[in-house]
Structure 1
Amino acid sequence: MSRSALSDFEAVIALARHGRFRAAATELGMSPSALSHAIAAVEARLALRLFNRTTRSVSLTAAGEQLVNRISPALAEIRDAVDAANSHRETPIGTLRLNSSVGAARQIMQPIVFEYLRRYPQMKIDLVTEDKLVDIVVDGFDAGIRLVEALPRDMIAVPLGPEQRMVVVASPAYLAENPPPRSPADLLAHRCIRSRMGSGAIWRWEFERRGERVVVDVQGPLTLDETGLMLEAARAGFGLSYLGEWSVAADLASGRLLRVLDDWTPPFPGLCLYYPGRRHVPVGLRALIDLIKERRAHPPG
């Protein structure tokens, strides 16, 4: 089988996985039009229609489903064999596809991603950020980065850093006009900046102290879905915001924001890199795991 034929079959599997040309093309590092030509070439070579196409969706035909089910394990074996062979390289080469939340990506960009690319200049990182949790195997990622509590149980996890905390913050001007809350129940009398999660649901603020857990459905003038916007709103005095401590550290240090309810926000396990257990871990991913473990064993500074 030619190398181009293998690439074309990888294209078929990617399109079957995503059901959209643009998403599959992004995974493969090619344009949607180039992917369309590759799929057409496979169909012409086999004299079979593998996909049903409409203006809104792409789905496998019966023949396409049978083909994908048969070739997927074989191509996975080929990829594993290539990864095993590449493990003998002194310097990894290739592309590492990672999936992460936006907040997690901001935390790892400087200390992990930039350092990785400096060490391994022949590697590329394709980092896709989205707040909703995806199936990294189905969507073609090598690994994901999320909070420990969000990890699928069947994944191997590598801790990325120390514990984290959430903090309730507000501007000095807001707190000058509104008595600071002394307990989570007091939040119901305050303007709060609400947070919409990737699922579309409004996040209810969670607190804990000495074994007592409290969940508050806060109210306020703004509902946002991005940390930077929540920070802007809090700085401008539009209410209390509940954010990761790492994201407000500079504002707390400068006095632009003040924290409240500090004794109600205990630390929790932080971020992890996670990936599926398999016989051969790709050499590029192994290099990333080694870098993470090195940083944990010898923190900078």
Structure 2
Amino acid sequence: MKALQDLLLFIRTAELGSLSAAARLLDLTPAAASAALKRLEAELDVVLLVRSTRSMRLTAEGEIYLEHCRQALQLLDDGRDAIASGRALIRGTLRLSMPSDVGRNLLLPWLDEFLGHYPGIELQLQISDRLADVYRQPVDLAVRYGDPPDSSLVALPLAPANRRVLCASPAYLERHGVPATPQALSGHNCLCYMLSDYVHDRWRFHRGKEELLVTVRGNRVADDGDTVRRWAVAGYGLAYKSRLDVVQDLRAGRLIELCPEWKGEAAPLNLICPDRRRLNPAVQLLREMLRSRLDLLAEAAPAEGERP
């Protein structure tokens, strides 16, 4: 941006015949304008303007460079107009379903930003852990963990390497101790998630070729993933959650990952739709944005409070 401002200052100075007038037009101090012009000449290793106390004129090199600068800025303006025009063409209604926890706490701010970029899009959002029927319900797309149960559905990967993690709050661990292995979960209060009336109380772990399936017990069960996460943060027990659901809590130290040498089961996040004909430009742009943000999140180094 500083380089562009230097070019614009040079153009306005040439047009007005005065560096101070160009500085006032661009809201720059005389010193800043003089430094910018010297910086530009130093980069080019030529004198662009011959200056005296009463006059200013372009050198031969300045005349040549001025025309190229004008063309360059016009191309940038054309590019900005093209982007704005393209955004205006992205319009329509997106009816999206997504899980409660990752939806509220991770994806929702990104959706707000997406709508800011494409004001022609209207979003109809369902936030629920109940699996949306994209054939019968008024839903175009669904963000869901795991592979779709129906092979005819189109699944676009968003976070294919995501897994579940065992975690608990520092307060709970201080009161009840840290389980050394998944086998020790029998001595802990485990917070369970329920989907379609099935309680997910068999937690799977593996380390190399060794695999464990641990049946857990606890005094709290919910069909809402965000509720289970909140219970864990509040110190009521251990949770077995998608890393995406708890990544912010892990980084902030509100939750601690346990038994990190044991990997939890895979929990890939996908964008699901019933037909490839639904993959219009708006859907493609949304998928690209979510995928890029999730990739950056996965690449970020663990912060204090999160074990690698």
- The answer as to whether partners of 2:129 and 2:223 remain within 8 angstroms in 1 is no
Q: 2:181 aligns with which of 180, 183, 202?
A: 183
Cα distance in 2 between the residues matched to 1:170 and 1:92: 43
Cα distance in 1 between the residues matched to 2:296 and 2:204: 33
Cα distance in 2 between the residues matched to 1:223 and 1:290: 35
Cα distance in 2 between the residues matched to 1:200 and 1:143: 24
Question: Deviations 1:177-219 (Å, cap 9, x if unpaired)?
Answer: 434222222111212222222x011102222222333222211
**What one-letter code is carried by the residue in structure 1 that aligns with 2:167?**
V
**What SS class does the counterpart of residue 183 from structure 2 fall into?**
helix
Assess, with a 3 A threshold, how the Cα gap between structure 1 residues 150 and 104 changes in structure 2: closer, same or farther.
farther
Question: Deviations 1:64-101 (Å, cap 9, x if unpaired)?
Answer: xxxxxxxxxxxxxxxxxxxxxxxx99612221111222
Cα distance in 2 between the residues matched to 1:261 and 1:119: 42
Question: Deviations 1:22-79 (Å, cap 9, x if unpaired)?
Answer: xxxxxxxxxxxxxxxxxxxxxxxxxxxxxxxxxxxxxxxxxxxxxxxxxxxxxxxxxx
**What SS class does the counterpart of residue 199 from structure 2 fall into?**
coil
Q: Does 1:253 align with 2:251?
A: yes
Who is 1:130 aligned against? 128
- The answer as to whether partners of 2:88 and 2:118 remain within 8 angstroms in 1 is no
Who is 1:195 aligned against? 193
Cα distance in 1 between the residues matched to 2:175 and 2:261: 22
| Structure of greater Rg | 2
* Deviation of 1:294 (Å): 6.3
Assess, with a 3 A threshold, how the Cα gap between structure 1 residues 128 and 145 changes in structure 2: closer, same or farther.
same
Q: What does 1:29-68 align with in structure 2 at a 5 Å threshold?
A: none
Who is 2:141 aligned against? 143
**Unaligned segments of structure 2, at least 5 residues:** 1-85, 301-308
**What SS class does the counterpart of residue 261 from structure 2 fall into?**
helix
- The answer as to whether partners of 1:145 and 1:273 remain within 8 angstroms in 2 is yes
Q: Report the count of equivalent residues.
A: 212
Cα distance in 2 between the residues matched to 1:121 and 1:142: 19
TM-score (norm 2): 0.58
* Deviation of 1:125 (Å): 0.9
* Deviation of 1:131 (Å): 1.6
Q: What does 1:24-173 align with in structure 2 at a 5 Å threshold?
A: 91-106=89-104, 107-111=106-110, 113-150=111-148, 152-161=150-159, 163-173=161-171
Cα distance in 2 between the residues matched to 1:109 and 1:157: 20
* Deviation of 1:121 (Å): 0.4
Identity among equivalent positions (%) equals 30
**What one-letter code is carried by the residue in structure 1 that aligns with 2:112?**
F
**Unaligned segments of structure 1, at least 5 residues:** 1-87
**What one-letter code is carried by the residue in structure 1 that aligns with 2:134?**
I
**What SS class does the counterpart of residue 202 from structure 1 fall into?**
strand
Assess, with a 3 A threshold, how the Cα gap between structure 1 residues 293 and 90 changes in structure 2: closer, same or farther.
farther
Cα distance in 1 between the residues matched to 2:164 and 2:290: 23
Cα distance in 2 between the residues matched to 1:192 and 1:109: 28
Cα distance in 2 between the residues matched to 1:138 and 1:164: 29
* Deviation of 1:269 (Å): 5.4
- The answer as to whether partners of 1:94 and 1:124 remain within 8 angstroms in 2 is yes
- The answer as to whether partners of 2:147 and 2:270 remain within 8 angstroms in 1 is no
Cα distance in 2 between the residues matched to 1:281 and 1:173: 46
- The answer as to whether partners of 1:164 and 1:267 remain within 8 angstroms in 2 is no
- The answer as to whether partners of 1:170 and 1:258 remain within 8 angstroms in 2 is yes
Q: Which moved more, 1:165-174 or 1:124-133?
A: 165-174
**What one-letter code is carried by the residue in structure 1 that aligns with 2:108?**
M
- The answer as to whether partners of 1:92 and 1:287 remain within 8 angstroms in 2 is no
Question: Deviations 1:235-278 (Å, cap 9, x if unpaired)?
Answer: 33322122222333343334333221212225735312122334
Cα distance in 2 between the residues matched to 1:250 and 1:298: 14
Assess, with a 3 A threshold, how the Cα gap between structure 1 residues 292 and 218 changes in structure 2: closer, same or farther.
closer
**What SS class does the counterpart of residue 156 from structure 2 fall into?**
strand
- The answer as to whether partners of 1:154 and 1:276 remain within 8 angstroms in 2 is yes
TM-score (norm 1): 0.60
